[in-house]
Each structure stands twice: as structure tokens, then as C-alpha cells.
């Protein structure tokens, strides 16, 4: 690298406040896929390249040990199942025995994954329906 190139990179780093980006990744999409990606990026107020970069980096970070969105959704739905099944009888003046509580906990653990998949599927269906309106 020439001294002039290093000087330009140094100025760009100072201007943008970040390390210069020198690598790129290319991929191909169908026209429909491209339109869906453009629409999503636009909805987030970003151009397609910046949005795609953010998504790729977020996915890379998640796969390196952090908790996935799906896992968080499963736990949230599990909590919803638990609270619904505990608060409903209590609101009606009933009491729950320790055995009933343990049985409820087992049911929640057994059903939360399927319930989360159903919630996500419904959300996707609702989003598709809204995008066609």
C-alpha cells in the first residue's frame, strides 16, 4: 500500500468513526425475493445493503453463543401459558395444590415449544395478510 492510500484510509476512518470496510459478499435472489428484501429494509429505514449487513452480523453474533429469538419466544409463550393457567383459577377464588402446580409446570414445559411455533406461524400469516391489503 502506498503512503497516499494509507492516508486516505486514515481520513475515512476519522470521518466515519469506524474501521473501513474492505470486504463484500455477493449472492443472487429471485425478483420476488429481492422485492421482499427491499420492502423489509425500507420498512426499517435502511438501504438494502446496510439492512442485509445488520442482519448477517446479528445472525453471526447469535450463533456464537447468545440466545436466539426463537428460544426467547418459546420462554415468553411458556410464561404466558403458565400465567394464564395459574391466574384463571385464582381469579375465580380457587386454590391450587402443590401437586396441581407441579403438573401445570410439567404441562407448560411439554407444550411451550409447540405453542410458540403456533404463535409465530400466526404472526407470519397475519403479516402476509396485512402486506396483501
Separation in Å, CA 87 to CA 18, 65, 110: 51, 34, 19
Residues in the chain: 133
Q: How far apart, in whole angstroms, are the C-alpha atoms of residue 132 and residue 41?
A: 18
pLDDT digits (tens, 9 = 90+) for 6-65: 666 555 555 566 788 888 889 999 999 999 999 999 999 999 999 999 999 888 887 766
Residue of higher predicted confidence among 127 and 52: 52
Q: How far apart, in whole angstroms, are the C-alpha atoms of residue 131 and residue 39?
A: 10
Q: What is the mean pLDDT of residues 76-89?
A: 94
Domain parsing of the chain, residue ranges: 29-66, 67-133
HSE value, Cβ hemisphere, 13 Å, CA-based, for 30: 3
Q: How far apart, in whole angstroms, are the C-alpha atoms of residue 81 and residue 18?
A: 45
Model confidence at 79, pLDDT cuts 50, 70, 90, reads: very high
Model confidence at 133, pLDDT cuts 50, 70, 90, reads: low
Question: Is residue 75 over pLDDT 80?
Answer: yes
Q: How far apart, in whole angstroms, are the C-alpha atoms of residue 105 and residue 53?
A: 41
Amino acid at each position: 500500500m502506498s503512503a497516499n492510500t494509507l492516508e486516505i484510509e486514515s481520513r475515512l476512518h476519522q470521518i466515519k468513526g469506524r474501521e473501513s470496510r474492505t470486504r463484500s459478499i455477493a449472492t443472487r435472489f429471485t425478483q420476488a425475493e429481492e422485492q421482499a428484501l427491499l420492502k423489509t429494509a425500507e420498512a426499517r429505514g435502511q438501504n438494502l445493503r446496510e439492512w442485509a449487513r445488520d442482519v448477517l452480523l446479528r445472525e453471526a453474533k447469535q450463533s456464537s453463543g447468545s440466545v436466539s429469538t426463537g428460544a426467547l419466544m418459546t420462554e415468553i409463550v411458556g410464561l404466558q401459558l403458565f400465567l394464564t393457567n395459574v391466574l384463571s383459577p385464582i381469579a375465580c377464588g380457587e386454590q391450587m395444590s402443590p401437586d396441581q402446580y407441579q403438573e401445570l409446570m410439567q404441562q407448560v414445559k411439554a407444550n411451550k415449544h409447540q405453542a410458540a411455533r403456533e404463535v409465530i406461524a400466526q404472526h407470519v400469516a397475519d403479516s402476509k395478510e396485512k402486506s396483501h391489503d
